[in-house]
Structures are given as C-alpha cells and as structure tokens.
Structure 1
C-alpha cells in the first residue's frame, strides 16, 4: 500500500445467490482527497459501501485502511477504525432532537461505559458536557445550529442530509463515505452541499462519494471509479473518465461528453 493511500481495497467480490454484485473490484482513496464512485443503478456501488463498512461480508478481497490490514466484520469495528458512512435512505432518529442525533454519533468514542452511565461519576458528567459542546460545534459547522432543539423528522429533506453528515463527522472518521448525499436536493441545496464537502476536505478529512449528480462529482472529485454490473470499467481523473468510451456507453451517454 502506498503511504499516501487511506483506503486501498483489491479483488473485492460479493455474490447474492446467482447475482455477482461485485466482481474483483479495486478502489484506492488517497489521504485528503474526494473520490467518486459512480455508475448506473444496480452497478454495485451501495453493495461496495456495505461491504467496506461491515454491513455485508465480502466473499473475497484484500482490505487496507490507513496502512493496516482490516476486516470489515461489523459496523462498530469499522466505525472505531475511523470509517463512517451515510445511507441512500435517510436513517435519522426522527423523534430525537437534531442535537441528540449528533450526540449519538459522539458516543462511539465515549469512555464512560455502563458503570459511568449508572453512577454518574464526575468524569462521566464532564464527558457528557464535552459531547454536547462538540455536537453544537458540528451543527454550526454544517449550518444547522438554529435547529438544534427541533425533532429531526421536522427538518427539511436537505437539512436532514446535512444532519446525517454531522452525525457521521461526530464519530471522528478518517474516511467519510457518503451514499448519494445530494439525492432529493434542489439546486441551492446542492450548491451548499458542494461547499460543505469542499470545506470538509480542506479541514483534513477524506471523502468517498457515491453520487448521480454528474456535475457535482465532476466538479469536486479528485478521481473517479466507475462500476457497471459489479465490475470497474474505468478509473482516473474526472476529465479522463468523462471521455472513456465504456463510461459513455454504460452511464453518461453521448450528450454528457
């Protein structure tokens, strides 16, 4: 693994019955970059996310994360390693407040444990105050401070997407994996999302992005990997990928060139 790669996976395969969802997929994500994973519906993009984040076991593959071998066997293990993700379908706690949703993300790094929660040690109370302060700071970072005490289900769709990103950031990830974060957003919300993702990268985070908005991925990604029927058909700089004949045929179409 090159020293500048945060995530380096090779030969990742996953089959569901008679369907080969992933077929020897390889993908590299350098530190401090935004890498896009694109392709038509059913290409295997979300399956790949589910494998690298421990939701699905891979049939085969080599996984290196931050210079070390890792095995994505459970979501909690992957989160502790420093890989956080969002989902195509928003998965917030709708009855909880916006602030509480972010605090949930912080608790994966909590040291209090069960005894601390029961007996309320001074160290536990200090940690809880720190978690609340950190959560408020993250809401400010994504532009949601004014909604802190609102139930998450009452946020607009675009704001719910931002809240998912804030909750993922609360886990202190090295790699932030976003599954179609612009889905359902209007033009203004997409522009704000673009600025947020660029700010997250500028602040030292690395992003792996599934997204169908071609103009967004072409505008912010340092490199792209394209899947079709579970196989990588192209990988490289956005300008090179845009002109790749197989990508045009399978995904972009002639009008996108």
Structure 2
C-alpha cells in the first residue's frame, strides 16, 4: 500500500545570483513520519526550509501539501495551511514570559480580531481563557510548566529550544519543521529531545527535521534525504543512507559507517 504523503515537492530550485542553493530538489514526507534532511554546512537545507515556509520564493518547483497544490507565498498563509517551523537561531520574545510566548502561537487560530481586542467582548474573554489553558497544557507537554511565569530569555538554552517547539505546536500544525533543534544541547537534553520528538510523532504529528547530530537522526527518522551543494545525493531508510557512498564521501566520512 502506498504511503499517504503530507508534503510532496519536486524540482525545487533557488538561485542567489550565480549560486544554485537548490537544484531540482525533491522531497516526500509521509503522514505521521519523521523525515530527516541532512548534509554538510551550505548544502541548502535551511534554504529549502525557507522556501517551503514562505520566507524565500522558489525559482521553480511543484508543491503539494496534504494532497493539494500549495504555493508558499507568505509566512502567515503557510502557518494557516498547517506548517510550522523553528529556526537555527532561537527566535523567542525574550522579555515576554514563557507562557506568553506559547500564547502568541495560539493567536494565529484566534477569531477575536481587532474589535474583540478593543471592546473585550465576552466571547473574546472566553477565547483568551481557552488560549491560556491550551498554552499551559503545551508547556506541560514539553516539560516547561514550572517556568511559565519566567521571562523566556532567562531559560537555559535547551529549554528555549523546547519553548520554540511548544510555540510551533500552538499553531496546530499538520507538519512541524525543525531546523537543528538539538544544536547547543548537552547529552541529557538531546535524550529528552529525542523522547519529545518521538512522543510528538506518536500523537499523530508529522516532523521534518534538519539536524547534524547523526546518532539522533539515525535513531528516530523513518527516512532521510541528503543534500550536497543544493542537490539530492541520496534518499531512503537511514540504514541505507548511512552506507551510501556519496553520503559517506560528502558528509558522514568513513568512520561513521
């Protein structure tokens, strides 16, 4: 039986001047899976994320999301369609509380609008209570309940990464795109992250993951796509990708096999 694809892109290209950051890249992400996008620095991984999440316009490409034609033209439209992401460099509202950062993610699905915010209708107040309750639940989900009132900038680095994931989950995504979530984490934090990502998948979410921690991606990903100089050089099960000659040459090295 064929897998039902949540994200299916083909022939995606993006140039910056004479540099082909992406050259006819294709990627398939089945529903309920964790798919890894790996490769050396400068391979085009984050550029690919920026294209599918509306930060960069693609020069060409075919995009299908949840079975429908998809044009990632703006970040807000991408979020509304059900795709949320995190970034290599943490982008939190540092002077806002941990709870408020998650509530920001929830507001993309709110219906109050400007008039509701000004006149404070009963329906607006009910929705705000619901958003607060949902945000507290998400903080519990990622293990940050005890820090709800703390300013986000005062969290440890690993906890800030978890907060970004909670805020992304608050947008109710179908696809969660994570750009190097384990960067800067110690061994214990990486183990906790691994368990969190597996729990997110078990709860029905789909994850697209950029990550340089080879043991992490090999341990949790259902499939891997490898980029090098903007081109796909391998795609398949982690065990097959690990021994692919081009992947060993370009990225893993002989010692990783």
TM-score by length of 2: 0.99
Contact 1:33 1:221 (8 Å CA) reproduced: yes
Superposed CA deviations along residues 87-145 of structure 1, whole A, max 9, x for unmatched, are 00000000000000000000000000000001000000000000000000000000000
1:230 CA drift (Å): 0.1
Deviation at 1:160, TM superposition (A): 0.1
CA contact (8 A) 1:3 1:67 kept: no
| 2:240 corresponding residue in structure 1 | 240
Structure-2 residue corresponding to 1:224: 224
Query: How far apart are the structure 2 equivalents of 1:2 and 1:12?
Result: 23
Q: 1:72 touches 1:78 (CA, 8 Å); kept in 2? A: yes
List per-residue Cα deviations over 1:159-209 (Å, max 9, x = no partner).
Answer: 000000000000000000000000000000000000000000000000000
Alignment partners' CA distance in 2, 1:254 and 1:101? 43
- Structure 1, unmatched stretches of 5+, are none
Distance in 2, matches of 1:246 and 1:10, equals: 21
Q: Distance in 1 between matches of 2:174 and 2:48?
A: 18
- Deviation (angstroms), 1:2: 6.5
1:3 & 1:193 partners in 2: Cα distance?
26
Distance in 1, Cα, partners of 2:139 & 2:3 = 33
Instruction: Give yes or no for contact 1:93–1:152 (8 Å, CA) kept in 2.
Output: yes
Preserved contact between residue 95 and residue 151 of structure 1 (Cα < 8 Å): yes
Once residues 80 and 132 of structure 1 are traced to their aligned partners in structure 2, the CA distance between those partners, rounded to angstroms, is 20
User: Which residue of 2 is the match for residue 251 of structure 1?
Assistant: 251
CA distance in 2, matches of 1:230, 1:70: 22
Find the residue that maps to 2:27 and give its secondary structure.
Answer: strand
Matches of 2:182 and 2:75, distance apart in 1: 24
- Runs (5+) with no aligned partner, structure 2: none
Cα distance in structure 1, aligned partners of 2:2 and 2:202: 22
Distance 1:85 1:9 in 2: 17
What displacement does 1:3 show? 6.4
Deviation at 1:84, TM superposition (A): 0.1
User: Which portions of structure 1, spanning 4 or more consecutive aligned residues, are displaced by more than 6 angstroms?
Assistant: none
- SS of residue paired to 1:240: helix
Instruction: Tell me, in whole angstroms, the C-alpha distance in 1 between the residues paired with 2:162 and 2:26.
Output: 29
The SS at the match of 1:217 is helix
Q: Is the 1:33–1:201 Cα contact (8 Å) retained in structure 2?
A: yes
Instruction: State the Cα RMSD in Å.
Output: 1.0
Q: Is the Cα contact below 8 Å between 1:24 and 1:231 reproduced in 2?
A: yes
SS of equivalent to 1:61: strand
